[in-house]
Amino acid sequence: MTETLTDLPEFPAARQARCPFAPPPALREVAAEKPLSKVRIWDGSTHWMITGHAEQRAILTDPRASMNDHLPGFPHQNEANAQVADQRPPTIFNTDAPEHTRFRRMMTFPFTAKRVEALRPSIQQITDDLIDKMLAGPKPVDLVQALALPLPTLMICELLGVPFSDHELFQRAAAVAVDRNAPPEESARTSGELMAYLTKLIETRVETPGEGWVNDLAERVKAGEVEAHEAALMGMVLLIAGHETSANMIALGTLALLRNPGQLAIFRESDDPKVIANAVEEMLRYLSIAQHGLRRIATEDIEIGGETIRAGEGIIVALPVANWDASVFPEPDQLDLHRQARQHHAFGFGIHQCVGQQLARVELQVVYSTLYKRIPTLQVATGLDQLQYKHDALAFGVYELPVTW
């Protein structure tokens, strides 16, 4: 029987409230049959969805799978993205090599393993200070506002050299940027505000040097390597991505661990950095918060997974589904912090994988190995059915997590 448009699953699909850590059941069912399938997105168009772990690695390293969102047929995340695609300047998120290589070279400077590791004492101090404040305040407390959001926000501000006093501006812009249903005019307004703020900050640093990566950008502007608006756009990308993803991982990860006390004990009882680091990789695999897929478009025909993706067809790489691929991660529905999970795709794969992944890793290692030691009786302070999840955000998580002890 010929498959009709209405037979195709929609992407993204919702996770189940009773098992919010698992990829959407509808997508897992499709993935169980074959590693590639067709899905329908918000505007009714159909595209290839890649769910197999091996197939994702193949497509994410194939130069024929382009990130150029100006090409006709590109599977845009939402209406807001589609409407401004023609006006969107080149960035690390919508270019291919060699242009992408130039952007990435400028953006990796503050995120090298050595530089991030040097930040560990600062991350530890901020974490302890925030927990001290929690313990001294009233109970229950929203873990999102008390710890999950301010920690990565403070760190990205320090790393980039952006005043924390202005954090509300980019947190507001980030909330809109990751909301799949945000009205196009709202997205344009908040991104415009943040662009104007960063452009002014960079221009100020051109005249009066300061600290952080913004200062490095200002030096590149002064040297004529990049335009101020181009530098501001790179800064905006890192400000938003640099705190939103880690914040969701901290809160959602805590919820997952509180529901798996045997696994939580590994973080609480171990002082071995290798055990902690390995456990964080499993948390990243298990939760897979980048739920709306990496988007590509084929510039040539691509043979993969027994299918042919024709030139001009859109591609969606469903990262959470591959992270639950049983052929790579046996019993994927089990949170096992002793599992060797470093092959996960939580940060993508290939030359386009997340530039800030080392910072995210260290933040999670510090938080997960500190919070449950400092507050061993931590527990959720509301019914699990009362929690609201970010089903429509680009990064999955909880809006609030009331906790007590």
Query: CA-CA distance, 166 to 186, in Å (whole number)?
Result: 20
Active-site residue 3, yes or no?
A: no
Query: CA-CA distance, 299 to 306, in Å (whole number)?
Result: 19
Segment (H or E) for 66? strand 65-66
Active-site residue 363, yes or no?
A: yes
Point out the catalytic residue in the list 37, 66, 246, 369. Answer: 246
Point out the catalytic residue in the list 230, 281, 313, 363. Answer: 363
Residues 6+ apart with CB under 8 A from 166: 197
Instruction: Classify residue 271 by its DSSP letter.
Output: -
At 368, phi and psi to the nearest 5? Answer: -65, -30
Point out the catalytic residue in the list 244, 281, 282, 313. Answer: 244
Beta bridge partners of 290: 395
> Strand 307-309 and strand 314-317: pairing?
unpaired
Instruction: Render 224-258 in DSSP notation, one character per residue.
Output: TSS-HHHHHHHHHHHHHHHHHHHHHHHHHHHHHHH
Instruction: Classify residue 111 by its DSSP letter.
Output: G
With beta carbons less than 8 A apart as the criterion, state whether 347 and 281 touch.
no
| Burial (CB count within 10 angstroms: exposed 0-12, middle 13-18, buried 19+), residue 20 | buried
Helix spans in 3-64 (H): 25-33, 53-60
Active-site residue 300, yes or no?
A: no
With beta carbons less than 8 A apart as the criterion, state whether 252 and 284 touch.
no
What count of residues does the chain have?
Answer: 405
Point out the catalytic residue in the list 82, 188, 265, 354. Answer: 354
Of 13, 6, 4, nearest to 396 by C-alpha is 13
For the packed helices 120-136 and 150-160, what is the interaxial angle rounded to 10 degrees? 140
Active-site residue 354, yes or no?
A: yes
Of 93, 115, 106, 91, nearest to 359 by C-alpha is 115
What's the CA angle centered on 348, arms 249 and 289, to 5 degrees?
25
Residues 6+ apart with CB under 8 A from 197: 166, 169, 170
Active-site residue 45, yes or no?
A: no
Point out the catalytic residue in the list 65, 218, 232, 241. Answer: 241
Q: Which residues are catalytic?
A: 241, 244, 246, 354, 363
